[in-house]
Amino acid sequence: MQLIIITDMDGCFLDFNTYSYEDSVEALNRAVKEAAVISFCTGKCLAEIKVYNKELKLKFPFIAENGSIICVPHDFFDFDFEYQRETEKYKIIELNVKHDETIKALHNIRKKLDFEFRIFSEMSPEEINEYCGLPIESVKHAKMKEYDDAVRIVDETPEKVNLFKQAVAEEGFSYTKGGKFHILIKGSDKGKAAGILLELYKKKYGSIVSIGLGDSLNDLPMLEEVDSAFLVARPDGSRVDIGNSKAKRVNEIGPKGWSEVVNEALEKVKKESHFVKE
């Protein structure tokens, strides 16, 4: 049985404040060594994820921009599947509208609302760094969005958030919330994309067991698609309202919680002696 790990990045695999994977990389390397498949399912865009994949030497499919696209390395699957475009390294399944349409909707929303919000792709590198701590050298990749976008509501209040949600719906888009930004998407979410990717994995491996890890509202649809779902803790102790979600809360924060879950999953698979090593 093939172990599939589908995971968020910021605040989960990566530290919420520093974006470091120092506390999770050992568990990741162990998982790869033991032939687990690790697919990022993140709000990060293709340009950002390519940097991490190169650093971590990962060559698995991944989901970018909150379910907007599934990126599959050439020759990863030995069967045909539907995809919309190709790059030098990936076959890309597109599930969301293009960024131009998302920006147009955000500009329409700005005209309707009487309070200020900042659009991520239009923020300066310095503003992004100051607000969320993302290193300046990483911002140039983060701003290369092709589908979704995110906003920071200035002097945010619950009333402003509700008005923003209403305006998003009026534009025909869906709202979700990441760790630090409010997100606008149309056509897909992390759950839809994860479901499609898991079906491809089933076709490749036959029998699979899947776990999912996240920390925010936008992760909940993805966590509903996996066999076992986990929400790691946040540094400030805040908790996402998971409603009827099957996700289990992890007491450890971010990468440490991530490592705990992954190591336990690897041990469980090993004990059950169903793990298929290639």
Helical (H) or strand (E) element with 102: helix 99-112
- Residue pair 218/207 in contact (Cβ under 8 Å)? The answer is no
d(CA 94, CA 197): 12
Running DSSP on this structure, what letter comes out for residue 46? Answer: H
Mark residue 136 as left, alpha or beta (left: phi above 0; alpha: psi -120 to 50; beta: remaining).
alpha
Name the catalytic one among 8, 189, 215, 219. 8
Q: For the chain, how many residues are written?
A: 278
- Residue pair 98/153 in contact (Cβ under 8 Å)? The answer is no
Residue 236 designated active-site: no
Using alpha carbons, select from 267, 218, 275 the residue that is nearest to residue 245.
218
d(CA 268, CA 130): 42
Running DSSP on this structure, what letter comes out for residue 273? Answer: T
| SS3 per residue for 126-153 | HHHHHHHCCCHHHHHHHCCCCCCEEEEE
For the chain, state the CA radius of gyration: 18
- Residue pair 2/210 in contact (Cβ under 8 Å)? The answer is no
d(CA 177, CA 188): 14
Residues carrying an active site annotation? 8
